[in-house]
Amino acid sequence: MFTLRGVSNCGKSAKVKDLASWVLVNYPHSINHGVILAHGDIVGVLQINKLKIGFVSSGDDYNCIICNDSLLNQFPDIDVLVNTSRTKGVTRQHLEHHYNYSTGWLVKNIYVERFYPSNPTLESRRDVFISDELRSWLTGLEK
């Protein structure tokens, strides 16, 4: 599981959507189970052959974070889950309690820093670094 953690409005959801878009472009034979990029947040699965990647771009509150649980109930054989969470509070606690090594998940948390004041140069570097890391984990993953 890859969780993008950060404060509100730092771009976590946008990065999850960008990754889903990248998968769709680079794996055109993938089967789309509910990932609709034209809307706000996304909840769905992209399947490449037998590999299933779940995407949950909303993670700001408890109602958002339980979308992970619902997605896994619908697709219990998800191999990779990409989601978001705040840095503290109920969203982080829920993920840490339910998705950890003892429950069968390897977790990679990626912190999405928010710059005060906004700094487009630093934000762009941060975004490229995060995108490159996520893509490197997913490149060539087919079962």
Share of the chain above pLDDT 90, in %: 86
Q: How confident is the model at residue 138 (pLDDT cuts 50, 70, 90)?
A: confident
Answer for the pair 92, 25: CB distance below 8 angstroms, yes or no. no
Q: What is the pLDDT of residues 51-79, one digit of tens each?
A: 999 999 998 899 999 999 999 999 999 99
Q: What is the pLDDT of residues 109-127, one digit of tens each?
A: 999 999 999 999 999 999 9
Domain positions in the chain are: 2-138
Of 109, 33, 38, 39, nearest to 72 (Cα)?
33
Q: How confident is the model at residue 22 (pLDDT cuts 50, 70, 90)?
A: very high
- The four Cα atoms 74, 64, 53, 78 give a dihedral, to 10 degrees, of -40
Longest dimension (CA), the chain: 44
Q: What is the pLDDT of residue 143?
A: 53
Of 90, 55, 50, 60, nearest to 72 (Cα)?
55
Q: What is the pLDDT of residue 141?
A: 65
DSSP annotation of 59:
-
